[in-house]
Amino acid sequence: MLGFTWLAARAVDWRAVWSSVSHASLPMLAIVVTATLFSTIMKGARWWIFLRRSTSLRLGQVIRFTFAGLGLNAVLLANAGEVVRVGLAARAANARLATVLGSLASDKVVEILAFFAMAVIAVLIQPTDLFPASKVVVPALVAFGLFIAFVAYRGENPEALLEPVVTAGWRGYVHKGRSFLVRFAAEARTRLRGMDAVKAFGISLVYWPTQIIAFAAGAEAVGLHLPIVATVAAVVAVNLAGFIRATPGNVGVFQIFYALAVTRFGFPQEQAVAAAVLIQSIQLVTVVVSGVIAAPSAFTSANLFESAQAADEEEEGPLQAL
């Protein structure tokens, strides 16, 4: 993937890209920053909807964990920031990891369903030959069907599964792993069956348009006037690229997928790359700066500093006794 990114970069006229970026509209860039901050807050609020029933975490805490996690995602590989924010939430709430992961899984499921809904609406509002309704509506119906099947499935009782005492060795690890997965799935299903899922879906219907606004403003900043469906296609492509995470912040991969989506609508490659560079740069700087600001408070909420201080005191105790 890195080699492909390097080859793709060689085919771009970077002077034209820099010319477009250097003349970008500042008001449009301000919209990108505002939309990025607002969408991050919405992301944290949606996760809190699923966490509030099983933990004592406050909305502000979860939003700070989200900012800190996304800030780390911007500089680390493989969505490491997601691991950090789950760990912070589990530690701050003193909750089982399966409980926190189950809430995050519920959050992701609702996010994907809302995304399909927005894609269908965009295609119906502004149809195009590149993205006929069948190519969007059918996958959306499949995703909705899988969601219904997952929520309706009763599965095994996690408490009953944990009751038997298993001998040590690899069988014990298999049993623990299976127990964790069953509890994780049960936690996710429980949250998706209540009104919390409806509320989270409503938040997602605000979150995704905010992302679309950020992408549209970034394109407008370099003079790229995209139709709604092209902007949605770019958002789809970039979010699919997010599963790869081949580079820190997915730099390079983001630009390739964005340009591939936009150029299919007949727009110039250099302008598409300029818009991608601008959008990602603004978003990365915004989430990194916000993450740095939120990190101290997030770590304090998770009692990380207190644990480090306690460890230091334990080490100093024997020395003072000597």
Gap between the Cα atoms of 164 and 144, Å rounded: 36
Q: Which helix (H) or strand (E) holds 59?
A: helix 59-73
Question: Do 62 and 44 touch, CB atoms closer than 8 A?
Answer: yes
Q: What is the pTM of this model?
A: 0.77
Gap between the Cα atoms of 64 and 61, Å rounded: 5
Gap between the Cα atoms of 133 and 119, Å rounded: 10
- CA distances 303 to 57, 88, 299, Å, are 13, 9, 6
- CA distances 9 to 127, 231, 236, 259, 273, Å, are 31, 22, 21, 11, 10
Q: Which tokens in the block code for residue 10?
A: 């060689």
Gap between the Cα atoms of 248 and 80, Å rounded: 10
Residue 317 is which amino acid? G
Domain ranges of the chain: 2-303
Question: Do 65 and 89 touch, CB atoms closer than 8 A?
Answer: yes
**Residue pLDDT tens, the chain, 322 long:** 444 454 455 556 567 777 777 888 999 999 999 999 999 999 999 999 999 888 889 999 999 999 999 998 888 776 788 888 888 999 998 888 878 888 888 888 888 888 888 777 777 766 666 556 666 667 777 777 777 776 666 555 545 545 555 555 666 667 667 766 777 677 777 777 778 888 998 999 899 999 999 999 999 999 899 988 889 889 988 887 776 676 777 788 888 889 888 988 889 888 888 899 899 999 999 999 999 999 888 888 777 655 434 434 444 444 454 4
